[in-house]
Amino acid sequence: MSTKILFDRIDEPALNTLEVYERRGGYQALRQALTMAPEDVLKQILDSGVRGRGGAGFQMGRKISFLPHGDMAKYLVCNADESEPGTFKDRELMQKSPHMLVEGILIAAYAGDIHKTFIYIRGEYQLQADILEAAIAEAGRAGYIGERILGSDFSASLVLHRGAGAYICGEETALLDSLEGKRGNPRLKPPFPAIEGLYAGPTLINNVETLSTVPHIIRMGGAEYAKIGTETSTGTKLVSISGDVKRPGNYEIELGIPSREIIYGLAGGPPSGKPVKFWFPGGSSSPVLTGDDLDIPYDFDSMAKAGTMLGSGAIIVADESRRVLDTMLKVAKFYAHESCGKCVPCREGTNWTQKMVERIYAGEATPMDLDIMASVQEQIIGNCLCVLGDAMAMPIGSMVQKFRVELEAEIEAARERADGAAVQDVIPLGVADEHAGPLPVH
Contacts of other proteins in 103-162 (CB under 8 A) = 116, 122-127, 130-131, 133-134, 136-138, 159, 161-162
**CB burial readout 63-76, b (16+ within 10 A) else e:** bbbebeeeeeebbb
Q: By CB under 8 A, is residue 19 in contact with other proteins?
A: yes
Q: For other proteins, which is the closer residue by CB, 234 or 250?
A: 250
Rule CB under 8 A: which of 23-52 touch other proteins? none
Which 8-state DSSP code applies to residue 258? Answer: B
Tell me which of 53, 64, 82, 208 binds other proteins, using CB under 8 A. 82
Query: Pattern 165-184, binding to other proteins, x per CB under 8 A?
Result: xxx----------xxxxxxx
Shortest gap between Cβ of 153 and other proteins (angstroms)?
21
CA-CA distance, 318 to 156, in Å (whole number)? 45
Shortest gap between Cβ of 346 and other proteins (angstroms)?
16
Rule CB under 8 A: which of 419-438 touch other proteins? 422, 425, 427, 431-432, 434-435, 437
CA-CA distance, 345 to 348, in Å (whole number)? 6
Q: For other proteins, which is the closer residue by CB, 61 or 270?
A: 270
Tell me which of 44, 83, 285, 398 binds other proteins, using CB under 8 A. 83
Sign of CA dihedral 82, 92, 150, 215: negative
Q: For other proteins, which is the closer residue by CB, 212 or 250?
A: 250
What's the one-letter identity of residue 160?
A: L
Q: By CB under 8 A, is residue 413 in contact with other proteins?
A: no
E-assigned strands of 188-306? 203-207, 236-243, 249-254, 276-280, 289-290
Shortest gap between Cβ of 192 and other proteins (angstroms)?
20
Q: By CB under 8 A, is residue 356 in contact with other proteins?
A: no
Q: For other proteins, which is the closer residue by CB, 12 or 408?
A: 12
Q: Are 285 and 394 in contact (CB under 8 A)?
A: yes
* ∠ CA 228-291-394, rounded to 5°: 80
Q: Are 241 and 315 in contact (CB under 8 A)?
A: yes
- The residue among 158, 199, 203, 195 whose CA lies nearest residue 180 is 199
Q: By CB under 8 A, is residue 216 in contact with other proteins?
A: no
Shortest gap between Cβ of 292 and other proteins (angstroms)?
20
Q: Which stretch binds other proteins (CB under 8 A): 148-156, 318-326, 375-383, 398-406?
A: 318-326
CA-CA distance, 311 to 207, in Å (whole number)? 12
Q: By CB under 8 A, is residue 330 in contact with other proteins?
A: yes
Which 8-state DSSP code applies to residue 11? Answer: T
